[in-house]
Amino acid sequence: MYTPAEVRALTPIRNNVENLANEKPDLRDVFLCHAWDDRKGVAKELHDMLESRGVSVWFSEKDAGLGVPLLRSIDKGLANSRVGIVLVTPALLKRLKSEGIADKELSALLARDRLVPIVHETTYEELRDVSPLLGSRAGLDTAEEPMADVADKLSELVAPLIVNVE
């Protein structure tokens, strides 16, 4: 069940991705931006939950091939995904300060109107201290609902894409 604020925030994203589904049906549903430190933990958990719900996820741990330059692989993943999900954790906040790969992904995602932050084990206030632009975007928070419910909402957000692609 979405809150009224989530409906207001996510409806424009849903409209944008529905249009993209019709224009470019071969895109991935989501690009998952996360901190390197979270790749085997919460990021993998979210990836697995989304995939189990029929969402195609670009996830560097499975999609960046051996011998392929990582930044070029990420660039292609960003270009070929309809929605960007930023998994905001304490590790990501630390990584953003160091201006590494996650910071580059975030910069690309902020330029689009198809970005959903997922705040996990941190707060929007802490996020705004590091990235006011990302912190100004409405998203979902695992302090308010379990990760499984967040995955349900995200899969519902891209559901029209799944239906249109099949």
Cβ neighbourhood burial of 9 (10 Å; 0-12, 13-18, 19+): middle
- Beta-bridged to residue 116, according to DSSP, are 85
Distance CA 65, CA 72 (A): 11
Tokens read off for 157: 């957000």
| Residue whose token pair is 């996830």 | 59
Q: According to DSSP H, which parts of the chain are helical?
A: 4-23, 42-52, 60-63, 70-79, 90-97, 101-110, 124-130, 132-135, 147-157, 159-165
Asked about 121 being catalytic, the answer comes back as no
**CA end-to-end span of the chain, whole Å?**
25
Distance CA 156, CA 149 (A): 10
Catalytically annotated residue among 18, 105, 126, 144: 105
Which residues are catalytically annotated? Answer: 105
